[in-house]
Amino acid sequence: MRKKILLIAIPAAIHNLIDTLQLLIDILMIGRISPEAVAAVGLSGQLIILLYSFISIFHIGTNAISSRAFGSKDKEKAYETVFTGFLLSFLFSIPIFIFVFFYNSTFFYLMGVEKEVSELGDTYLKILSISIPFLFVGSVLYTGLASSGDTRTPLIIAVFSNIINTFLNYCLIFGNFGFPRLEVEGAAIATTISYITEVLIYLFIYLNGRKIKFSYRFSPEISKKIFKIGVPAGIEKFISFASFLVFVKIISNFGTYTLAGYQIGLRVEGLAFMPGLGFSTAAMVLVGQYIGAKKLKLAEKSVIENLKIASLFMGIVGIFLVLFPENIMSVFTEDLKTIKEGALYLKIVGLSQIPLAFDFVLNGALKGAGATKITLFINNFSFWIFRIIPAYIISIYTKEVIYIYLIMIFETFIKGMWLWILFKIGNWKNMKI
């Protein structure tokens, strides 16, 4: 059991790690320009993350159906599901691209940032928006491979994509090897090219047909199921990410240096997320496959094993965040105020890595079973009642951001406990899709 979990989780975790490293490399290089550039790129990343709520409609919906199909040995249905999800995601991405390209300035206005941050962010997002359709379809293509149990191939693709991004960042941000010095604009161009390259490689693999393939049949029935499962998950993530932006807005009220430190801290914390995201993927895939094979006891056992291993990995990372925050921050910026603010954030979040592992794995397990309405309610109710509202109230009466961070990790503990209780009740085993 543990070997099977690790064979799925470790490549998935490293894949997510590489995705995070791509963002970290952007911040690392942009951090040599100015705190305003860091804040602009960081906030732009928050908006892109918000878009993942729409992407998750097709990612989670496709996964729940295709993993059950692979579990029941019905490969044709799995291939048909991936092709249907691919077409739906592409069509849905077009209006999102148009909105981000033409109206991203509204986002920076709502966030209340300084003019220079807003202008830099607008430049960055106008270019990066070109990659939005590729982000949508790439997520579905990744899901198809992962739901079959193959997370190694996406890992190799991510490594190659990250190498391209790093090289182009070095050339275009600073003007090396005869390229023009484009700074924030260069970072956006590099990231966009790497995203497009990644999807082109996925398409080559599907068209080749050796590992996985398209069925070239669009199924209205499957599309309805994708939306039935995916829409609640998408709504959950949209509300969660939008709520998170409200939380970022609260942080931004403490000043540009606090916001810049927070943005770098978020990217660094993303490294701690990697084991959790990897085991979340494993939980989602294995629960779907075992339920599809009608092995309910194994489905539950796989989640328990996931929790043990994910907690160990994330607990170790949490120790490093608590003990060496200044050293970690100094890698990304030389600004002492930004280092101080980011180090404070890392110390606090390092304490919550184990309950965060519970959040990741149990969310993945419930979504793999199709229980997306349950996670929709829990995640958003918890975020608003135990994080957003208390943080807003406290921010009115204090200029110390540490109290906001303490509220944040308290909410992580509450949500992890709540998800555990629902998992043990066991209604998720009988979900119909």
Which pLDDT score is estimated for 324? 92
Give the rounded percent of residues in the chain with a pLDDT score beyond 90: 30
Instruction: Name the pTM for this structure.
Output: 0.70
Q: Which of 26-35, 287-296, 372-381 has the lowest mean pLDDT?
A: 26-35
Within 8 A by CB and 6+ apart from 168, the residues are 186, 189, 190, 193, 194
Return the structure tokens found at 31: 């951090």
- Residue 42 reports pLDDT greater than 80: no
Of 48-62, 108-122, 328-342, minimum mean pLDDT range: 108-122
Q: What is the pLDDT of residue 291?
A: 83
Dihedral (CA of 261, 312, 303, 142) sign:
positive
Helices (H), 293-401: 296-323, 325-330, 336-350, 353-368, 372-383, 389-397
Tokens of 304: 């328990």
Q: How confident is the model at residue 23 (pLDDT cuts 50, 70, 90)?
A: low
Nearest residue to 371 (alpha-carbon basis) of 416, 427, 417: 427
- Please tell me the predicted confidence (pLDDT) of residue 114: 78
Question: What distance in Å separates the CA atoms of residue 39 and residue 424, rounded to the nearest whole number?
Answer: 41
pLDDT of residue 27 exceeding 80, the answer is no
Angle between helices 35-71 and 132-147 in degrees, nearest 10: 40
256 vs 99, more confident: 99
Closest CA to 87 of 206, 239, 234, 201: 206
**Average pLDDT rounded to a whole number, residues 277-289:** 83
Position 274 pLDDT exceeds 80: no
Report the pLDDT value the prediction gives residue 433, as an integer from 0 to 100. 63
Residue 1 has a pLDDT of 66
Residue 280 pLDDT class (50, 70, 90 cuts): confident
pLDDT at 340 over 70: yes
| Band of pLDDT at residue 20, cut at 50, 70 and 90 | low
Q: What is the pLDDT of residues 47-102, one digit of tens each?
A: 887 788 889 899 889 988 998 888 888 888 989 999 999 999 999 999 999 988 98
pLDDT at 417 over 80: yes
Mean pLDDT value across the chain: 86
DSSP one-letter code for 430 = G
Judge whether residue 430 has pLDDT over 80. Answer: no
Q: Is the pLDDT of residue 380 over 90?
A: no
User: How many structural domains comprise the chain?
Assistant: 1
Residues in the chain: 433
Task: At 166, list the tokens.
Answer: 């790093």
Q: What is the pLDDT of residue 94?
A: 95
Can you give the pLDDT at residue 212? 84
Residue 326 has pLDDT above 80, yes or no: yes
3-state secondary structure of 140: helix
pLDDT computed for residue 173 by the predictor: 92
Contact 202, 157 (CB under 8 A): yes
Confidence class of residue 268 from pLDDT cuts 50, 70 and 90? confident
pLDDT at residue 22 tops 80: no
d(CA 133, CA 197): 13
Q: Residue 271: is its pLDDT beyond 80? A: no
Mean per-residue pLDDT, 315-322: 90
User: Rounded mean pLDDT of 287-295?
Assistant: 82
Range of the domain at 136: 2-430
Contact 391, 404 (CB under 8 A): yes
Paired tokens of 132: 């939005």
Encoding tokens for residue 98?
């148009």
Looking at residue 203, its pLDDT comes to 93
Residue with tokens 């339920």: 291
Give percent above pLDDT 70 in the chain: 95
Of the candidates 3, 71, 16, which has an alpha carbon nearest to the alpha carbon of residue 302? 3
